[in-house]
Amino acid sequence: MDVWSAITCARRDRLSQGIVVGALVASCGLVGDARAADRAPVLTVQQAPEYPADAPKGATGTVAVRVTVDSQGTVTDAVVLDGPPVFHAESLRIAYRLRFQPAKTDGVAVVGTQVVQFEFADPHVSQPAQSPSEIIVRAEREDGHDSHARTVLSEEDLERSAGRTLAESVAVVPGVQLARTSGTSAKPIIRGYGERRLLVLHDGVRHESQKWGPDHAPEIDTFSAGTITVVKGPAGARFGPDALGGVLLIEPPPMRTAPGTGGKAVILGATNGRRAYTALRLDTVSARRPSVTYRLEGSFNDSATLSAPDYPLGNTAAREWNAGGAVEWRKPNATLRLTYHHFDRNAGIFYGISRSTPAEFKAQYEAGVPVTADLWTVDRVVDRPSQNVSHDRVTLHADFAMPSGWSWQAIYAYQHNHRLEYAQVRAWYVTGAQYDFTLRTHSLDVKAEGPRVVFGKRRFDPGIGMQGSFQENVYRGYSLIPNHRSFMGGAFAHGRFIGEHGAVTVASRLDQLYRVAFIQE
Mean pLDDT for the stretch of residues 429-447: 94
Domain match, 43 and 27 both = no
Q: Taking a C-beta distance cutoff of 8 angstroms, is the pair 376, 314 a contact? A: yes
Domain match, 153 and 228 both = yes
Residues 6+ apart with CB under 8 A from 235: 148, 199, 243, 246, 247
Domain match, 123 and 226 both = no
- Mean pLDDT check: name the lowest of 46-60, 89-103, 205-219, 340-354: 46-60
**How sure is the predictor about 464, in pLDDT bands with cuts at 50, 70 and 90?**
very high
Residues 6+ apart with CB under 8 A from 438: 416, 417, 418, 419, 473, 474, 475
Is residue 147 helix, strand or coil? Answer: coil
Residues 6+ apart with CB under 8 A from 515: 484, 485, 486, 487
Return mean pLDDT, the chain: 81
Q: How far apart are the first and last CA of the chain?
A: 51
Domain match, 223 and 108 both = no
Q: How far apart are CA 196 and CA 208, in angstroms?
A: 11
Count up the domains in the chain and report the number. 2
DSSP conformation letters of 20-84? -HHHHHHT-EE----PPPSB--EEEE--PPPPPTTSPTT--EEEEEEEEE-TTSBEEEEEEEES-
Residue 160 CB-density burial (10 A; 0-12 exposed, 13-18 middle, 19+ buried): middle
SS3 letters for 217-246?
A: CCCCCHHHCCEEEEEECCCHHHHCHHHCCE
Q: Is the dihedral of CA 234, 236, 238, 242 positive or negative?
A: positive
Domain final position from 109, 142, 175: 142
Provide the pLDDT for residue 237: 63
- Name the residue with higher pLDDT: 228 or 47: 228
Domain match, 102 and 172 both = no
**pLDDT at residue 27 greater than cutoff 60:** no
Angle at 443 between CA 419 and CA 212, to 5 degrees: 35
Q: How far apart are CA 40 and CA 111, in angstroms?
A: 9
Domain match, 52 and 156 both = no
- Kindly list the distances between the CA atom of residue 85 and the CA atoms of 252, 377, 492, in Å, as whole numbers in the listed order: 17, 56, 23
Q: How far apart are CA 230 and CA 327, in angstroms?
A: 27
Helices and strands, counts by H and E, the chain: 6, 29
Domain match, 397 and 418 both = yes
Provide the pLDDT for residue 183: 66
**pLDDT at residue 41 greater than cutoff 90:** no
Residue 84's identity, in one-letter code, is P
- Name the residue with higher pLDDT: 195 or 389: 389
Q: Taking a C-beta distance cutoff of 8 angstroms, is the pair 243, 236 a contact? A: yes
**Which domain does 217 fall in, by range?**
5-32+143-518
Q: How far apart are CA 166 and CA 187, in angstroms?
A: 8
Domain match, 149 and 249 both = yes
Closest of 5, 362, 381 to residue 159, by C-alpha: 5
- The pLDDT tens digits for 418-428 are 999 999 888 88
Domain final position from 120, 142, 164: 142
β-bridge pairing 246-251 and 198-202: parallel
Domain match, 327 and 371 both = yes
The secondary structure of residue 365, as a DSSP letter, is H
Mean pLDDT for the stretch of residues 180-189: 77
- Mean pLDDT check: name the lowest of 3-17, 121-135, 305-319: 3-17
Q: What is the CATH number of the domain that holds 262?
A: 2.40.170.20
Domain match, 385 and 264 both = yes
Domain match, 130 and 277 both = no
What's the length of the chain?
Answer: 521
Q: Taking a C-beta distance cutoff of 8 angstroms, is the pair 49, 94 a contact? A: yes
Q: What is the CATH number of the domain that holds 57?
A: 3.30.2420.10
**How sure is the predictor about 364, in pLDDT bands with cuts at 50, 70 and 90?**
confident
- Mean pLDDT check: name the lowest of 2-11, 80-89, 128-137, 495-504: 2-11
- Mean pLDDT check: name the lowest of 84-88, 157-161, 352-356, 396-400: 352-356
pTM: 0.74
Provide the pLDDT for residue 244: 77
Closest of 263, 267, 387, 264 to residue 315, by C-alpha: 387
Return the H-helix or E-strand segment holding 168: helix 166-170
Provide the pLDDT for residue 453: 83
Q: How far apart are CA 61 and CA 401, in angstroms?
A: 9
Domain final position from 81, 116, 142: 142
Compute how many other C-beta atoms are within 10 angstroms of the C-beta atom of residue 31: 18
Return the H-helix or E-strand segment holding 188: strand 187-190
**How sure is the predictor about 318, in pLDDT bands with cuts at 50, 70 and 90?**
very high
Domain match, 286 and 394 both = yes
Q: How far apart are CA 497 and CA 89, in angstroms?
A: 28
